Each structure stands twice: as C-alpha cells, then as structure tokens.
Amino acid sequence: MSYLPYIVAAWLFVVGLYGIVTSRNLIHLAVCLTVTQSSTYVLLLAIGYKHRATAPIFYGVPVGSRAVDPVVQALTLTDVVVSVTVVALILALTVDIHRDAKTVDPDEIEAFRG
Amino acid sequence: MIPLQLAALLMVGLAGTTVVLMRDPLRMTILNAVYALTLTILFLVFQAPDVALSMLVVGGIAYPIVLLAAIARVRSGGDE
Amino acid sequence: MNRRARIAVFAVAAAGLAALLVASVVDLPAFGHYQGAYGNQLNREAVAERHTTNVVTATVFDYRGFDTLGEEFILFAAVVGVTLLLRRHKDSEDHQEVLRKADDDRVRSDAIRIVGLLAMPALFLLGLWLVAFGLVTPGGGFQGGVLLAGSLFVVFLAAGFRPYAHLTPAHWADSAEGSGAAAFTLLGLGPLLAGAAYLHNFLGSGVRGTLESGGSMTLLNWATAVEVTAAMVLLFSEFLESYVLPSVRPLQ
Amino acid sequence: MSWLLPLTVALPFTGAALGVALDHWLPEWVKQFPALVFSVATTVCAVLALAHSGSAPVHWFGGWQPKHGIAIGIAFVGEPLGAGMAALAGVLATAALLFSWHYMEEAPRLYRVLMLVFLGGMCGFALSGDLFNMFVFFEVMGVAAYALAGYHIEQLGPLQGALNFAITNSIGAYMILFGTALVYGETGALNLAQIGKTLAGHPPDALLVVAFTLILVGFLVKAAVVPFHLWLADAHAVAPAPVCVLYSGAMVELGLLGIARVYWTAFEAPFAMHAPDVRNVLLVVGIATALLGAVMAFLQRHLKRLLAYSTISHAGVMLAGVALLDHASLAGVANLVLSHGLLKGALFLAAGVLLREFHSIDELRLHGRGRELPLLGVLFGLAAFGLVGFPYVGTFLGHALIDDGGIELGHSWLPPLLMVASAVSAAAILRAGARIFLGWGPKHDPLLAPEPEEKPPEGRGSGPLMVVTVAALVTAGLVASVVPGLQDGTEHAAAHFMDRQAYVSHVLEGKPVDVLPDVPAVVHRATDASIAYGLGAAALTVLVTLFGLSGRRIPNVFEPPINVLKAAHSGIVGDYVMWLTVGTAVLGGVWILTLTRG
C-alpha cells in the first residue's frame, strides 16, 4: 500500500503514451500528453510527502514543526503553469495543420513519406 | 496512507484513464477539467497547497479556454 | 507501418516500460518516509534567512530562482511561438478592420452582463491578493497571474469579443510580457554587476509574515505576475482571434 | 571569473525580452541590430569563459554556497567542454543571425526573439551543474526549436515536422523529469556533484538503472540516435536554413554532452563494475545510428533532409566515441563536434542560398544549375570534403582520436565501421554537390525518395553577406584539425571531465581543481592507423560518390531492407512515439538484466 502513489504515477505515464499512440485526433493527443506530464507531478509530490507533516508554510505554525519537502513543490508549481503554454503551442500547430490539410487525424497527414 | 489519500489517488488514476479513453474532443475537455480537479484534491491531500492552487487555476481557466478555442476553430473551419 | 501492427508492438513495449517503472519505484523509500536533507535544510532556515513564511515561494524565487528564470522563458518562448504560428498573412485585414466585423457576438442577456461585469473586479482583486500574499501564505506570481488573466477573460464571456479586445490590446500585452521577463533577468543582473552572485537578494529581508518580507523576492514575484498575466492574456487572445474571426481568409 | 557564466544565459534572455517589450517603440531600421549585438556579446562571454575554464569556475546563483556539504542553490560549472559547447553555440547562432540579415521577412521580430531564447537555452544547458536545471534548459531549447521549425506556416510540411518534433521531444523531456524525480527520491539532491557523492557507494539497483535509462533516453531523443531519431529529418527538412544550423551544429551535440555529464558525474560510480555493459550497449546503438544515418542520407534528394541524415550519422559516430568511456575518445568527440558543427552549419547555409536563388532544394531539379554560383560550389565541395576525415583536414582529428581509442580498447572492428559510415554520408553530400554545381550524373534517379518542394523565404537577403558567412564557417571547420595545442588541450579537458572525485570536491567544498598544464603549441603527428583510416575513408567516399552519380540501380537484394527503412520514417507521430517506447523498454530491459547482477 505504501507504494500505490508511485504505481499510479507509473500507470498515468504509460496510459498517456497509449493515448498518444492510438490517438485519432491531435487535440486528444495533446491532452494525452498532459496526462503523461501530470504523472511526473504525482510522482514528485508523492516522493516529497511525509506522514503527519504539515505543508511547508510556517504562517501560524512554529518553524521547527515537521513539514513535507518544499523543493518538489517548487519544481512542480512552475512546471504546471508553464506546461499549459507548451500544450497551447502544440494546439496552435494543430489549428494550422487543420487549416492546410483539413484533417486533424495524425495518421492521415500526408506531408512526407520516407 | 490515510483513507482520504487512497481515495484521491484512485480518483486521479480513474480520471486520467477516462480522459485518455474518451475520443470525442468536447467531452474530453470536460473530463480534463474533472481530472484537473481530482489532481487539485490529491495535491491538497499531499500537503501541497501551492501546487493545488496552481493546478486549480490552470485546470479551471487556462486548459478549458485553449482547448475549447482549438476545438471550435477546428470544427468551424472544417466541413464536418 | 499499419495502425494495428503499431498498436500491437506498442502494447508489448508499454508492458515492458510499465514493468521497468514499477521495478524502479518500489526501490524508493516507502510513501511518507522521505528523508531528504535538502528539503529539511530549507524548512529549517528559509524563514530565518528570508523572513518569508511560505518556504515553497522562497525556494521558487530565491533558493532556486534561476530555475524559475528558465521556466519563465519557456512560457515566454511558447507564447511568442503561438503568436508566430497563428499570425495571419500580411495582406489579410489588419486588427481594427477585423474588430469591426466581429460585432455580432455581443452578449444579449443583461443578467450575464451584470453578473459578469461584477465578477470581473472581484476575481481581479482575488488574483492580486493571490500574488501579493504569495510570500506569506500559499500563492505567488504564477498562480495569481493565471487568475488575473482569467478575470480579464470574464469580460469576453460577459460582454463579447470587442470589449475584451479593447481591454487587452496586443501592443500592451506584448510589452507587459516582455518587460516582465526583462525585469526578472535585470533584477538578477543588477547584483551581478555589483559584484554579488546572479539573482542575489539585494534588499533586506523585511518583516516576517508581512507583505514586505523576502526582500527582492517580492520584486521577482511581481515581475513574474506581470509576465504570466500578459502571457496568458496573449495566449487567450491569439486563440480567440483565430476562433472568433473565421472571416480571416485561410492562407493560399 | 565565474561572473561570466550567468552572462551567457542572462544576455540573450534579456535581449529577447527587450526585443518583445520595446518592439512597438523602436524605429524600423534599428530592429535589425539588437539581436545580432546580443548574440555577439553572448559569444564573447562564452569564449572568455572558455579561456578561463582551466580552473573550472563555479557560480552559485543567489549566492547560496553549499552549507554543511548540502548544495542549497543552483551551480554553473565553467569546465572546458561545457564552455566550449556554449562558445560553439554562440558562434553558430551569430553566423545564423548574420546569414539571415534580410532573409526572414515574414515575421523577423519573432524569429530573432526565438533565436536568442534558443541560444540562451543552449548555453544554460551546456554549463548547468544541476539536474533539474538541465531539464529546464532542455525545455527552453525545445520550445524555441518547435516554434522555429514551424516557421513557414503556409505549408503542411513544416507544421507536421514541428508537431512531430514537439511531441517526441516533450515525451523525452517528461522521461528526464521522471528519472530526475527517481534520483531525487533516492539521493535527496538535485546538484550533480552532490548526487555523485551520495551515489558513490550505492549498489546498482533497479531504481538507478531505470532512472539512468529514462534520463539517457531523453537526451538520446535530443541527440537523434536510433530509434529516437525519426523526428530529426522531418524537422530539419522543413525548418529555415539558419535554424537548421543550430539544430545540427549545437542542439544534437548538446544531447550527447548531457549524456556524458550525467554519466560521469552521477552514474559512473554505482555502475563502475559493469562499465563494459554500458559501453557495449551504447556502442551498438551508436554504430547502428551511424550506419542507418549514412544509408538514409544516400537515399535522399531533398538537400536539407540529406544533410539531416548525415547529422544523424555523425551523432552515431559521436555516441560511439562517448561510449568508449576513455578520455582520448571523449576528446575526439569534442573535436568532432567542433569541426562537424562548423562544416555542417556551412552546408546548411549553402543550401539556404540555393533555396533563395533557385527556389528549390531538390538535388535532381537543381541539376547543373549551381554553375551560376561557382564560389558557393567550391565552398560546398570543401565543406563536404572536410566531413570525410581526410588526414589533417576538417573532422580528421575527431575521427583519429576515436579510432585510436577504439583500437586501444581492443575494439579494432570499430574504426572500419565508423569509416564506412562517415564515407557514405560524405559521399551523399558530394554526390548532391557534384550534381548541382557540376551537372554530373543523370537528371532522374529512381533510387532517391521524392519530396514535397519547399517554398523559399520571402526576404531577398544580402548575397555577399551570406557567402561570407559560409566561407568563414568552412575555413574554421577545415583548419579545426590542425590548430596547435588543441589535441592536448581537449585531452586534458576530457580527463578532467571524467574525474568525479575532483569535480565533487571542487563544486561542493570549493577545493581548487589542479589547473590544466600549459599546452605546447604543436600539432602532433597522427598515428599510422588513423591516417590509414583517413585515406581509406577518402577513397571509399570517391567510390561511393561515383556509384551514386552513375545512376546504376542498386542490386535488388537491397531493395526490401531499403523499403522497410523508408517505411519506418513514415512521418506519423504515433509511429515515432511507438519507437520511442520500444527503444526505452529495450534499453531499460537490457541494462536491468546486466547492470544489477552480481
């Protein structure tokens, strides 16, 4: 039971990849990409967690008290906001592809072969 | 591993899988917002309020706007 | 490679990858028994050194401030990339002309207009509060910035595209994003030219638990808020313009 | 002198931010200059940092020195190989910006801003001493590169190329983050020196093997190594020529620098007993990449796609050099990166000039039309000849050191394979050059895969400036093998790069590293074996080029494998991600069986 969070993270990673490989719509593919990325958030925060510990915010909480790891939260916090714009870049590409190729199915885009 | 954490984890796993399995873009966008909500709850339960806030704001505002605009643009531009 | 063969091969590989990932995560310390010295060190000393009670924000803007600079420029490059990719052909109508044409989607129902136009300032204030108190309680430039952009977006929902476009002109959003990012790098460059390290916290640590705790972190926090808000506004406007204005001729 | 290091990142970033902030207030004629000024300033800082890199200055951001042996802040380490890579990136970015003076007229402002962010990301990645910080700069480079790849939005090719690029590299980045999280869970540290110190006595368990595999795969995707290379040819074929200079000259090589840095600082100690297993797997992957890249290069008629596959082939040779795990080969890789970056940059810019002049980039369609540009033809030929590895010319020093390293370690079967790979890929370029500039060979060649035509950029660009840039890169690339003292300098630097104890004590405890001995300004006489392989490569290149120009059909026994190869490069992102997963599973599986036993 004490490894379930990590297992869920690994599961989300692989499910996201499955979604990407079998996707028929680039917008669906972009969201599957975010699912894969969210697996790293779950893993990072699960690693940093400590039992019976408060959040690393010492406002109204004495400084010495047992707190979870702030570093993983700092890494995840910025990554969440930034990944929206990266997915938006991929969606912008999707919109442009649809305008030129009239399809958003990755298997039917015929730009180049071999 | 308190029961609340267990529940939150199972919800995240379930919501993530459902988002991937839902092929229709519009329903997937709504499910994606639900998935962001389950992640927010999970981060809260993992004692990470900053990240929960970040996921709440991003999952509630940024993703829906960008996804819905892209879907509308693809649907209105094309002939389908 | 046809689709079914690809999925079959992927299924085998994914099973292998999943096995590898599970084999690796079971070697991690059990959930809840993390012993990392790095985090404990920060938890013990951040409040004393920088008088900020939110150690996560102290890590984001001071201890690992250079990571945040990198993340900000990912955001910056992505939004510039979206602007590059969704740019319309030179000879299509310019901005003002296009605005005139987009007049038909003005929100009719008064209820939505009133509730929307009341909600906007409230959300805006909430965003500002989220940024301002980021050093004290959960929050910060990133989360507050997205909420501020969201509150501006409520104007589009409540009043239609033209009022929204007037409220968020591309020129000003561009400049705000650029100056927010430039402010972050220059706040780092200043101490470097004065002989200290890059991104050194040159202001005093201020009073614990109040708004002016954390020294130059507050400046970095607000620079980030300006950049994230402007970037999100640009992002939403780019996608809205490409959606609201199907009249824009597709490129030949 | 450590204040130079952050400048290589802060300057381009500030330039990009101000470029966007002040754009509406700058008069039109001024807008050409700022990007170039910032790029030149960054290059100067990087070169100065390289000059002072003997003492490997460490810069702790925010002034957070390590406390009680725990690294608190983020460190930049200005050791020679990292600083050299940053300097090369600066030179190539400046050359690209100079080349595209009036070349990119559609959205010049956004193009220049993204080029500066790209340069800042590359310098940051080369110098960073923190695992998560490397991931952040990996993403900065990535995002700037995705947007630049899709620059020509009016065509489908660039958009699909950029999409494949974005998705495969994003997944690579998430794998690095997953690996970093595993390492952080195990060691509680993000600073590479501290991770190395913690893992020193650590037994090689499944976590370390999988973390090593995931991080390595993320870098292998960027280094375009088989089977993770599929996105590179698409992205190169469609990106504007000056952008391809940065892709092939610096970004691919940074993936290899990432592998070397992460291996030697963090993962060498726990896997020390099984180093041969790590070496053999990477050698096999490197050689497969070198050969596949060369063969695919020979099958292309689209000049930029041909050059892209040649880059993949060279990435394979470089990975084989790194995989030999000894300082001579690592020095060889450093020299190969230098000369290959300059020469390949010149070739891409020459392709850009061809596209501007004749509105086509197709070798058959340009048949004989290059005669109108004799100077460009000469430069193109010289650059291609430099890539062959003829003794004391161009990439010879790199190939020689790698061959000597291979023979020294008893892998005498390695140099012939690398010779064949570099000969075939150079022959492909020479064949294209001869057909375009000299008009040799038939107008039709069924062997070569047809490609959609590419729309030329709108700007006329300034002809003489473009040719001057190409000439400068070619001369620098050709003389790279005979620079006095370069061989000894890179060998000492490589030896320092691999010394983990010195790196850990230097970064964490500030113990000064023993400064590199001053290097005698002499060019060593190459070993007989390497000269023999150099001449062999030249002879083989001439043979293969003539065969290519002769238009004779290849024997049909090779037909099926070539069709399979072409089918694999399908352009469908689902295939690419499938190969990415297969590659990760195979690499991880092999290593978990070999590295964790005993």
Torsions phi, psi for D570 (to 5 deg): -90, -15
Q: CA dihedral in degrees (B31, B35, B36, B40; nearest 10)?
A: 150
**Is the CB of residue D307 less than 8 Å away from at least one CB of chain C?**
no
C251 has pLDDT over 60 = no
Interface confidence, given as ipTM, is 0.94
**Is the CB of residue A99 less than 8 Å away from at least one CB of chain C?**
yes
Name every chain A residue with its beta carbon within 8 A of the beta carbon of B6: 1, 4
Position of tokens 């912008």? A92
C97 has pLDDT over 70 = no
CB atoms within 10 A of CB C35: 10
Return d(Cα C63, Cα C80) in angstroms, integer.
Answer: 28
Question: Strand pairing partners for A67?
Answer: A54
Return d(Cα B62, Cα B55) in angstroms, integer.
Answer: 10
Least confident of B29-43, C17-31, C77-91: C77-91
Looking at residue D355, its pLDDT comes to 87
Question: Strand pairing partners for D128?
Answer: D76
Looking at residue C100, its pLDDT comes to 64
Looking at residue C93, its pLDDT comes to 53
Position of tokens 């709440």? B56
Looking at residue C248, its pLDDT comes to 43
Could you tell me the CA-to-CA distances from D245 to B14, D248, D253 in Å, in that order? 45, 6, 12
Name every chain D residue with its beta carbon within 8 A of the beta carbon of A97: 156, 159-160, 163
Looking at residue B80, its pLDDT comes to 35
Return d(Cα A37, Cα D243) in angstroms, integer.
Answer: 28
Looking at residue D101, its pLDDT comes to 79
**Is the CB of residue C53 less than 8 Å away from at least one CB of chain A?**
yes
Model confidence over D261-280: pLDDT tens digits? 999 999 999 998 888 999 99
- For chain C, the structural domain boundaries read 36-244
Work out the widest C-alpha separation in chain A, in whole angstroms.
64
Among the partner-chain residues A90, A110, A114, the one whose CB lies closest to the CB of D566 is: A114
Cis preceding-peptide flag for C250 (omega within 30 of 0): no
Return d(Cα A27, Cα B72) in angstroms, integer.
Answer: 11
Could you tell me the CA-to-CA distances from C27 to A41, C13, D186, D204, D281 in Å, in that order? 19, 22, 8, 11, 24
Name every chain C residue with its beta carbon within 8 A of the beta carbon of A79: 71
Name every chain C residue with its beta carbon within 8 A of the beta carbon of A64: 44
C56 has pLDDT over 60 = yes
Return d(Cα D444, Cα D451) in angstroms, integer.
Answer: 14
Looking at residue C250, its pLDDT comes to 42
Subunits in contact with chain A (3 or more CB pairs closer than 8 Å): B, C, D
Q: Which pLDDT band holds residue C94 (cuts at 50, 70, 90)?
A: low
Work out the widest C-alpha separation in chain B, in whole angstroms.
52
Contact D574 C66 (CB under 8 A): no
A20 has pLDDT over 90 = yes
Return d(Cα A44, Cα A35) in angstroms, integer.
Answer: 15
Name every chain D residue with its beta carbon within 8 A of the beta carbon of C180: 17
Looking at residue C187, its pLDDT comes to 92
Q: CA dihedral in degrees (C92, C96, C99, C103; nearest 10)?
A: -120
**Is the CB of residue C22 less than 8 Å away from at least one CB of chain D?**
no
- The closest of D517, D321, C55 to A63, measured between CA atoms, is C55
Question: Which D-chain residues 64-123 have CB contacts (< 8 A) with chain C?
Answer: 64, 67-68, 70-74, 106-107, 110-111, 113-114, 117, 120-121
Could you tell me the CA-to-CA distances from C238 to B66, C79, C81, C175, C226 in Å, in that order? 10, 9, 11, 15, 18
Looking at residue C36, its pLDDT comes to 84
DSSP D389: T
Could you tell me the CA-to-CA distances from A49 to A61, B43, C36, D190 in Å, in that order? 18, 10, 10, 17
Q: Exposed, middle or buried: residue D409 (CB in 10 Å: 0-12, 13-18, 19+)?
A: middle
Looking at residue D27, its pLDDT comes to 82
Name every chain C residue with its beta carbon within 8 A of the beta carbon of B72: 243
Looking at residue D33, its pLDDT comes to 86
Pairing of strands D75-77, D58-60: antiparallel
Element (H, E) at B8: helix B3-21
Mutate to test the interface with A, among C2, C31, C63, C146 (most CBs of A within 10 A): C31
The 3-class secondary structure across D259-295, one letter per residue, is HHHHHHHHHCCCCHHHHHHHHHHHHHHHHHHHHHHHH
Name every chain C residue with its beta carbon within 8 A of the beta carbon of A47: 28, 34
Contact C17 D111 (CB under 8 A): no
**What tokens does D151 get?**
């620059």
Model confidence over B3-58: pLDDT tens digits? 999 999 999 999 999 999 999 999 999 999 999 999 999 999 999 999 999 999 99
**Is the CB of residue A42 less than 8 Å away from at least one CB of chain B?**
yes
A85 has pLDDT over 90 = yes
**What tokens does D255 get?**
């993936």
**Is the CB of residue A81 less than 8 Å away from at least one CB of chain B?**
yes
**Is the CB of residue A2 less than 8 Å away from at least one CB of chain B?**
yes
Looking at residue A112, its pLDDT comes to 60
Chain centroid, CA D365 distance in Å: 29
Looking at residue D459, its pLDDT comes to 67
Contact D585 C14 (CB under 8 A): yes
What's at C112, amino acid-wise? I
**Is the CB of residue C140 less than 8 Å away from at least one CB of chain B?**
yes
Residues (pLDDT < 50) of chain D are none
Name every chain B residue with its beta carbon within 8 A of the beta carbon of A2: 1
Contact C146 B70 (CB under 8 A): no
End-to-end CA separation in angstroms for chain C = 32
Work out the widest C-alpha separation in chain C, in whole angstroms.
65
Query: Which domains are assigned to chain A?
Result: 4-101 (1.10.287)
- Averaged pLDDT for residues C187-205: 86
C247 has pLDDT over 50 = no
Contact C74 D140 (CB under 8 A): yes
